[in-house]
Amino acid sequence: MNFCIKKATRNSVPIMLGAALALALTSCGKSDLRSHRQIRKHAPQNSQDVGVMVQGVADEDVAQMLDQNPEAQARVINSKHGIYEIFNLEPSTLRAEWPEAQIVRNRFFQTFENKVLPSMEERMMMLAETVNTGGDKLEQCVEDLKSPTPEIEVTQSSEDISDQVMDLGGDFTLSSGKSTAHPDHPSDLKVGWLVMAPQGSKKGREIFFAQSIKYQPDAYGMYNILMVVQDSRKVCAGASFEVIVTGNKDFVGNDVNVDDILKQFDRKTFTHLPEVHADEAQTEAKGQGVLIAVIDTGVNYNHAALVKNIWTNKKEIPGNNIDDDGNGQIDDITGYDFVNNDGSPYDDQGHGSHVAGLAASSFFGLAPKAQIMAIKGLGPAGGDIASIVGGIYYAVDNGAKVLNMSFGNYGPPHPAMVQVMDYAEAKDVVILAAAGNGHPTLGTGLDTDKVANFPSALPHDNIVAIAAKDTKNMLAPYSNYGIQTVDVAAPGGNAPDDVIVSSFLDNPDDVAFIGMSGTSMATPIVSGVAALMLSANPTLKASDVKKILMTSGPQVQGLDKFIKSGRNVDALAAVQAAKAMLPLAVGSIQ
């Protein structure tokens, strides 16, 4: 494998995304709800597709409801906690059926990456301006209200992509055959296609002029496809289509050869380490015994820089399609994929792998001996509250003491999110939450005291809200702030020149490391520091960790006008403060 470093623009990913169908069969002999004909496999891909979140029922209740309502569909989020999503039925209907259950509509969030795609008009212009010697190229579009009607049809695929999700290695054919000219202006239609591949693909941006196209993705991620039809008057109309390419790879563990990465490893590349005095802190503690749950887009758990730190579920037997440990998920060896309903939380976006490396890579992570639990609650298209919530319950129930949440959402907090935060607080789990990357389109930081970002702005004593600073110890211009709702700052970079380098998803170019910037990067750095603290002093409570993080680092002039502590995180100072709180051993009093 060839390892290289590639820069990327700021990634504010997830402002709340992710989704999943954790259709679990426990080992106690219940009927298998997963086999029901009305069960959905994949999570919703847009706001229009979300259903109603139900908490407080059981598999048998859902199966009976489906039998009585043939138009309904369901997906299981976390059966241990009785969490399901029901489609095609109104909340009022479900409340009448289950009066004791908690019933609220689910909520979907797009990623930052999708929001900055070229507009429909810009992409249509790309097609019209493309140099093409063939006679079928599009010409500059003319505006007219009586435009053609475009329709994209999937005419052939190597697997079912009706839910717009497919595994890597397959292909699909899209056709314009159902598109029609306006009835008042009948004519043949010219057709152009623009396919925008995700970061990590070798294909990049491709343009085709044909009535149909056959396409084979070469990398994980979301493929954004635009079809434009043009009539004889040069009047155009466009339709878009997205395909998410994912896949499951077995965890290979010790079979990964790390020699290549060790030979090319240059610690100076990872500039976040000296900024927080990581090397000095790691002489005091390395994170051993602490489990960090990365709730994100999944993790490239076979990456040479991550593989030694991946948590494995010793109570589960790989590949037997049985929930051996009775925790509600089948074959959950390294965590769970709450987006695609399987036990392989493999990263198909890149954000989660980057985050995981910063927290606990054995080579450049803040806590090089901590373990990483991969929870896939976000995907390339975005995601939903129900899946995130299901992942949080799973992480807490399976022993994670530190939860990294590099995502957020502006607006009122979802009731289910508040409830699961209460649950994590009661279990004394530390949550590190990104403060957010500013205005969704302008990119400038927002005051979250006025425009709240959740979950970082929730008032729980176990939640630490993280802002991003640059290499000059100034608040990054994109970083959110708030003297009541943001606690501390950590290195987040400021693309394109100041980036935080970490691990990347599996990709055909074998790009092993990539630079990103954002509060999404600052947050796992603090997660790693929290793991060092808990390793140095396992008696710390979550509230102790928060207090130390907010009081141990250096004060920065003027920063107290933006965040509560006015401080940047310092790993060495935090670990030393944690050790100072160790209880005296019996017999040590002089």
**Residue of 349, 61, 365, 322 whose CA lies nearest to 221:** 349
State the chain's maximal CA–CA distance in angstroms: 98
Model pLDDT, residue 423: 99
User: Is the pLDDT confidence value at 492 over 60?
Assistant: yes
Model pLDDT, residue 129: 67
Does residue 278 sit within a domain? yes
Does residue 423 sit within a domain? yes
102-105 and 52-55 beta bridge pairing: antiparallel
Q: By percentage, how much of the chain surpasses pLDDT 90?
A: 78
Cα–Cα distance between 364 and 68 in angstroms, integer? 54
What letter represents residue 239's amino acid?
A: A
Q: What is the mean pLDDT of the chain?
A: 90
428 φψ region: left (φ > 0), alpha (ψ -120 to 50), beta (else)? left
Does residue 428 sit within a domain? yes
- Six-digit token pair at 122? 């810009």
Model pLDDT, residue 117: 62
User: Which helix or strand (DSSP H or E) is residue 405 part of?
Assistant: strand 402-405
Sign of CA dihedral 27, 33, 39, 43: negative
Cα–Cα distance between 504 and 506 in angstroms, integer? 7
Buried b (16+ CB within 10 A) or exposed e, 433-471: bbbbbbeeeeeebbebeebbbbbbbbebebbbbbbbbbe
Cα–Cα distance between 77 and 338 in angstroms, integer? 7
- Six-digit token pair at 156? 């052939």
Report, in angstroms and rounded to the nearest whole number, the Rg of the chain calculated over CA atoms: 25
What pLDDT, in 10s, does the model give residues 383-423? 899 999 999 999 999 999 999 999 998 889 999 999 999 99
Report the residue count for the chain. 590
Model pLDDT, residue 497: 86
What pLDDT, in 10s, does the model give residues 334-366? 999 999 989 999 999 999 999 999 999 999 999
pLDDT tier at 484 (50, 70, 90 boundaries)?
Answer: very high
User: Is the pLDDT confidence value at 308 over 50?
Assistant: yes
For 110, 131, 208, 377, 575, the CA distances from 126, given in Å and listed in that order, are 24, 10, 11, 34, 54
- Six-digit token pair at 522? 């600052």
Does residue 220 sit within a domain? no
Does residue 137 sit within a domain? no
Residue 334 sits in a domain whose CATH number is: 3.40.50.200
Model pLDDT, residue 116: 55
CA count, 13 A, side-chain hemisphere, 562: 24
Strand, helix or coil for residue 225? strand
Q: What angle do CA 373, 410, 85 make, to 5 degrees?
A: 60
- Six-digit token pair at 302? 């076979």
**Residue of 102, 12, 129 whose CA lies nearest to 415:** 102
**Residue of 200, 231, 85 whose CA lies nearest to 512:** 200
Model pLDDT, residue 118: 67
What pLDDT, in 10s, does the model give residues 263-290? 667 888 999 999 999 999 999 999 999 9
**Residue of 249, 380, 245, 397 whose CA lies nearest to 329:** 397
User: Is the pLDDT confidence value at 170 over 80?
Assistant: yes
Cis? peptide before 274, omega within 30° of 0: no
- Kindly report the three-state secondary structure assignment for every residue of 73-139: EEEEEEHHHCEEEEECCCHHHHHHHCCCCEEEECCEECCHHHHCCCCHHHHHHHHHCCCCCCCCCCC
User: Is the pLDDT confidence value at 22 over 50?
Assistant: no
Does residue 475 sit within a domain? yes
User: Which helix or strand (DSSP H or E) is residue 336 part of?
Assistant: strand 335-337
8 Å CB contact between 213 and 193: yes
Does residue 111 sit within a domain? no
Q: Which residues, 6+ apart, have CB-to-CB distance to 24 below 8 Å?
A: 34, 76, 78, 79, 80, 323, 327, 328, 329, 330
**Residue of 399, 310, 395, 396 whose CA lies nearest to 359:** 310
| Phi, psi dihedral angles at 140 (to 5 degrees) | -55, 130
Number of domains in the chain: 1
Kindly tell me the burial class for residue 423, based on how many C-beta atoms sit within 10 Å of its own C-beta (0-12, 13-18, 19 or more): middle
DSSP 582: P
| Phi, psi dihedral angles at 321 (to 5 degrees) | 60, 35
Distance of CA 26 to the CA centre of its chain: 27
pLDDT tier at 259 (50, 70, 90 boundaries)?
Answer: confident
Cα–Cα distance between 292 and 310 in angstroms, integer? 10
**Residue of 357, 248, 340 whose CA lies nearest to 294:** 357
Model pLDDT, residue 314: 95
Model pLDDT, residue 133: 43
- Six-digit token pair at 321? 């399609």
| Phi, psi dihedral angles at 560 (to 5 degrees) | -70, -10
- Six-digit token pair at 545? 């960790």
Provide the domain limits for residue 563: 273-579
Q: Which long-range contacts (CB under 8 A, 24 or more apart) does 133-138 make?
A: 134/209, 136/190, 136/191, 136/209, 136/210, 137/190, 137/192, 137/209, 138/190, 138/192, 138/209, 138/228, 138/230, 138/236
Does residue 61 sit within a domain? no
Cα–Cα distance between 436 and 440 in angstroms, integer? 10
